[in-house]
Each structure stands twice: as C-alpha cells, then as structure tokens.
Amino acid sequence: MPKTNGVSGRLKLMKHEIERSAGGVLIREKQKDEGEAHVCLIQVPTRGGNPSWRLPKGWIEPEETSEAAAVRETREETGCHGEILGSLSEIEYWYTRRGEEQGERIRVQKIVQFYVMKYTNGSIEDHDQEVEEVRWYSLSDALKEISYDAEKRVLQEAIHSWDAYLYRQGIM
C-alpha cells in the first residue's frame, strides 16, 4: 500500500462542510460628472489589519432563494438596494475553521453565487456595523482594488453584462 504523508492523512480525517452564500455586483449608472459607472465594494476587518476590498455577500437563509439572499445581503452590507439584471459565475474556495462545540478543525468548501445588479436606491452611510467601510469605485479602479482574484473575474464578467444591458437600453 502507498504510504500517505502526515498532511494528507490529517486532511482525510478532517470534517468537511459545504457553505453556500450569494452576493451582488452592485453597479450605479454613470452620473453627469463621472467618466464611468461605479460599483460598490465593502471593506471587512481582517486579521492582519490590511484593508481588503470585496464584493458584498452572505449566507443563504433556509427557504430563501439565492437571488433573494443576494439582494438582502447586498442591501444589509452596503446600505443600498439593487435590482438583479442577471446571474454571474459561481466562485469556490476552501478555508478551515474551528468547530463551535469541540474546537475541531473543519475544512469548509465555500460556494458563492453572484448576480449583477443595478443600483436603485439607498445610501452607503446605512451599511451594516460588521462592515468597516463601503465605497463606490469606478469600474476600472474597482478592478485594481478588489482583493480576491475570483471576485475580480466575477467583476469583469459583471462589467460585460452591464455593457450588454446598456446596449439593450440604447444607452451605448
């Protein structure tokens, strides 16, 4: 039998959970004094203290659709309401956390479904307390600032989708 090394042996014993969340790429139409449309990013506290700009997202409640969770989480985290224009790719990542009762290590497979949304109303001043800061970034600045590569790809996809939306509306 092939020998397993210590790491893969331990990983095999680790508990595995799947978590599903949903989130929004909330885009605000270009205003008269702006060169391009803007997107809402949030900054959440990180262990190292470095600012980390992300897309708003969160846990899908039981009995809730992924779309409803994305709209709710986006509103709670950014203070702003959006209307879904279309779905984007899912992203997937893994992380480990400690179990709440026994403190055992759990490998979490996280799957997040994002939607492109058009901003309708609300203010970033009204964001959730758990979020450190919310900012509107121009689309090109947001592509530079966003922390995770997978979210950057989702943002790129949302920008294509936004352009197609403007084209259909006869705005471009």
Judge whether 66 and 113 are in contact, CB under 8 Å.
yes
> Does residue 150 bind ligand ATP (CB under 6 A)?
yes
75 Rama sector, left if φ>0, alpha if ψ -120 to 50, beta otherwise: alpha
Stretch that binds ligand ATP, among 31-39, 61-69, 116-124, 147-155 (CB under 6 A): 147-155
What part of residues 2-21 is at the interface with ligand ATP (CB under 6 A)? 21
> Does residue 148 bind ligand ATP (CB under 6 A)?
yes
Strand partners, 93: 110
Phi, psi (5° rounding) for residue 150?
Answer: -65, -40
- Residue that has been written with the tokens 């897309």 in this structure: 55
> Does residue 58 bind ligand ATP (CB under 6 A)?
yes
DSSP letter assigned to residue 126: G
- Selected binder of ligand ATP within 70, 151, 158, 161 (CB under 6 A): 151
- Selected binder of ligand ATP within 38, 40, 41, 57 (CB under 6 A): 57
**Where does this chain bind ligand ATP (CB under 6 A)?**
21, 57-59, 91, 93, 95, 110, 148, 150-151
